[in-house]
């Protein structure tokens, strides 16, 4: 794992405690660190700290491949953390959105965290592998952002004053280009694909994969979720499988990748001229005990 600091994006801000004049129902936190970029093995992330030490918050935006969507993680040393769907908005938007499928957990550093998938695109994202949009659109949408508000999960609500997000997200996209190069993907060709990798007969093989429940996990009635990246050849056959986020138990990961390699089939990606090329496919496999 490599960490890079975006000193050109944001200078270190002075630590400031919330003033008494601010409304109690919303706590505004200024940045206390520059943006850092995490060059992980299978993802890229922007990370930043906000607030004075006694009122600290962490923000992480992570992407697993080029696209409009990313995961958002906000962590707080907050005693009033609540297991409720967060009400979120990218300021200056006026209408918050309720994230019903957000995850709540402890981050291992004495902080409580909430995590969800989102996008700066002014439409609801459908997955973390959303279609790439034009650079001009990115510039408008990301440049308009001034902060992130999270209410409901944290009391009082918190506003992370991020400032404009276009320059940080440009750095994220540079990281993602490097990531695809490490995967053996033609980055230039992927900027103008006429078709992305598409699952073929997914209804049948998805059921087969989900039914291959690890026996020991089934006996313990344990659930799991595995996010995987499939490398797909120009012939549409999978050439490799890698877990992008570790699950609660390695047996879920081994079973998910083994069954994906055995059962999954795809229509290959096509370049701008309509020629099949090697590419990738991202998916999440959810194991749930009924």
Which pLDDT score, from 0 to 100, does residue 13 have?
37
d(CA 171, CA 165): 10
Given the candidates 3.30.1150, 3.30.1360, 3.40.1000, 3.30.70, the CATH classification of the domain at 198-287 is: 3.30.1150
Strands (E), the chain: 2-6, 26-29, 35-39, 44-50, 57-63, 69-76, 87-91, 97-98, 103-106, 112-119, 147-151, 157-160, 198-199, 224-232, 238-245, 266-267, 269-270, 276-277, 279-287
The candidate with the shortest Cα–Cα distance to 283, out of 108, 105, 127, is: 127
Total number of residues shown for the chain: 290
Q: Judge whether residue 57 has pLDDT over 80.
A: yes
What tens digit of pLDDT does each residue of 196-251 get? 999 998 888 877 777 766 666 555 556 567 788 999 999 999 999 998 876 666 77
- Helix crossing, 166-183 with 135-143: angle to 10°? 140
Query: What mean pLDDT is predicted for residues 28-43?
Result: 95
Q: Judge whether residue 125 has pLDDT over 50.
A: no
Average pLDDT, the chain: 83
CATH 1.10.260 fits 2-183, yes or no: no
Query: Would you list the domain boundaries of the chain?
Result: 2-183, 198-287
Q: Judge whether residue 22 has pLDDT over 70.
A: no
Query: What mean pLDDT is predicted for residues 119-130?
Result: 60
Is the CB of residue 228 less than 8 Å from the CB of residue 285?
A: yes
* Sequence-distant contacts of 59-63: CB under 8 A, at least 24 apart: 59/148, 59/160, 59/162, 61/172, 62/38, 63/128, 63/172, 63/176
Which pLDDT score, from 0 to 100, does residue 271 have?
95
Is the CB of residue 79 less than 8 Å from the CB of residue 55?
A: no
Which pLDDT score, from 0 to 100, does residue 160 have?
98
**Highest-confidence segment of 117-131, 157-171, 233-247, 248-262:** 157-171
| Between residues 214 and 119, the one the model is more confident about | 119
Query: What proportion of the chain, given as a percentage, has pLDDT over 90?
Result: 53
Q: Judge whether residue 35 has pLDDT over 60.
A: yes
Is the CB of residue 111 less than 8 Å from the CB of residue 76?
A: yes
Is the CB of residue 256 less than 8 Å from the CB of residue 209?
A: yes
198-287: same fold as 2-183? no
What tens digit of pLDDT does each residue of 255-289 get? 888 888 988 999 999 999 999 999 999 988 776 66
Which pLDDT score, from 0 to 100, does residue 253 have?
76
Which pLDDT score, from 0 to 100, does residue 129 have?
43
Element housing 170 (H / E): helix 166-183
Structure tokens at 178: 């490097």
Query: Is the backbone peptide bond immediately before 256 cis, with ω within 30 degrees of 0?
Result: no
pTM to 2 decimals?
0.80
Whole-angstrom Cα Rg for the chain: 20
- Helix crossing, 202-211 with 250-263: angle to 10°? 150
């Amino acid at each position: 794992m490599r960490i890079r600091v975006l000193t050109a994006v944001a200078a270190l801000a002075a630590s400031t405690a919330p003033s008494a004049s601010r409304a109690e129902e919303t706590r505004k936190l200024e940045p206390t660190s520059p943006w850092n970029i995490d060059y992980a093995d299978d993802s890229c992330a922007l990370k930043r700290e906000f607030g004075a030490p006694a009122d600290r918050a962490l923000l992480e935006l992570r992407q697993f491949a080029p696209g409009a969507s990313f995961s958002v993680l906000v962590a707080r040393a907050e005693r009033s953390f609540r297991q409720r769907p967060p009400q979120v908005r990218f300021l200056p938007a006026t209408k918050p959105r309720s994230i019903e499928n957000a995850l709540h957990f402890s981050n291992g550093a004495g902080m409580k965290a909430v995590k969800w998938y989102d996008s700066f695109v002014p439409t609801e994202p459908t997955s973390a592998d959303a279609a790439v949009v034009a650079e001009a659109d990115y510039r408008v949408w990301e440049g308009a952002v001034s902060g992130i508000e999270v209410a409901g999960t944290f009391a009082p609500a918190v506003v992370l004053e991020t400032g404009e997000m276009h320059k940080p997200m440009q750095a994220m996209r540079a990281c993602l280009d490097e990531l695809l190069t490490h995967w053996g993907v033609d980055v230039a060709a992927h900027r103008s694909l006429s078709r992305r990798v598409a699952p073929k007969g997914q209804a049948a093989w998805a059921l087969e994969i989900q039914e291959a429940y690890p026996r020991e996990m089934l006996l313990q009635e344990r659930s799991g979720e595995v996010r995987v990246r499939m490398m797909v050849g120009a012939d549409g056959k999978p050439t490799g499988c890698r877990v992008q986020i570790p699950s609660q138990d390695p047996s879920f990961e081994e079973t998910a990748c083994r069954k994906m390699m055995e059962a999954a089939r795809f229509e290959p990606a096509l370049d701008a001229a309509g020629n099949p090329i090697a590419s990738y496919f991202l998916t999440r496999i959810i194991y749930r005990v009924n």
